[in-house]
Amino acid sequence: MTRAEFETAVSEHGSKIFTLSVYLLRDAQEAEDVTQETLIRLWKRGAEVDPGKVRAWLLRVARNRCIDVIRARTARSENPVDDVAIHLDMAKDERAGPEQVARAAELRRSIGDALHELNQRSRSVVIMREIQGLSYEEIATALEMPLNSVRVTLHRARIKLRDALREEYDHAAAC
């Protein structure tokens, strides 16, 4: 991998890695560390990476690193700082009425918690598909899963998220 190719990869994929790390770790500082480590690892091992699968490789490395961080955190009995929740209100429904806006905002605040309750694999699939818009094929490559497993995992994760948020949604709808 040439220097120019590496800098292009940093520019094109850095935010994807950072986003995944933020939502997996719920800690911006740790997400920054993971992102930096992942990109430096690409620099050191660029020759081993298929040029057509750089993003999937980066996401896989970042996710594995995030899992290591979470395990270490669990071993120390630490909870994440969760300074990410503040970002969940950033997106706005421009055309919705005030009640819909309020309901949507409430749901967004809760979706982060519900997402965090999923297991690592399901959470990764949901983040990559629903938030980052990656294709099923790319997710399968990044997570080293069969394509059908990605679809099944996503389907089950969506049902779990609905179950987790049903009461809140019904309450908001009733108001």
Partner 1 sequence: MPQRADFFDCGQVLGQLESWVDGDLDGATETALQRHLEECSECRREAGLARAVRQALRDMPEHEMPQHVVDAVLAETRDTGEVVRDARLLGRTGARRLQMVLAAAAAALLIVILSPRWRTPSPAPDLEAQRVAAETRLALAYLGASVQRAERQVAARLTEGGAVETTKESISKSIGLVRRVVGDSARTEN
Q: Which residues bind partner 1 (CB under 8 A)?
A: 1-3, 6-7, 10-11, 14-19, 22-23, 31-32, 35-36, 39-40, 43-44, 47, 87-88, 90-91, 93, 103-104, 107-108, 111-112, 115, 126, 130-132, 155, 158-159, 161-162, 165-166, 169-170, 173
* Structural tokens at position 19: 């986003």
Question: Shortest distance, CB of residue 78 to partner 1, whole angstroms?
Answer: 22
Question: Shortest distance, CB of residue 56 to partner 1, whole angstroms?
Answer: 17
Residue placing its CB nearer to partner 1 in the complex, 6 or 73:
6
Nearest to 163 by CA among 102, 118, 105, 128: 118
- The DSSP-derived string for 19-74 is HHHHHHH--HHHHHHHHHHHHHHHHHHGGGS-GGGHHHHHHHHHHHHHHHHHHHHH
Q: Using alpha carbons only, give the angle 139, 121, 130 rounded to the nearest 5 degrees.
A: 50
Question: Shortest distance, CB of residue 57 to partner 1, whole angstroms?
Answer: 16
Nearest to 161 by CA among 129, 133, 122: 122
CB-based contacts of 160, cutoff 8 Å, min separation 6:
114, 117, 118, 122
Question: Shortest distance, CB of residue 49 to partner 1, whole angstroms?
Answer: 13
Specify whether the CB–CB gap between 58 and 13 falls below 8 A.
yes
Residue placing its CB nearer to partner 1 in the complex, 50 or 144:
50
Residue 62 in 3-state DSSP? Answer: helix
Residue placing its CB nearer to partner 1 in the complex, 54 or 115:
115
Question: Shortest distance, CB of residue 62 to partner 1, whole angstroms?
Answer: 11
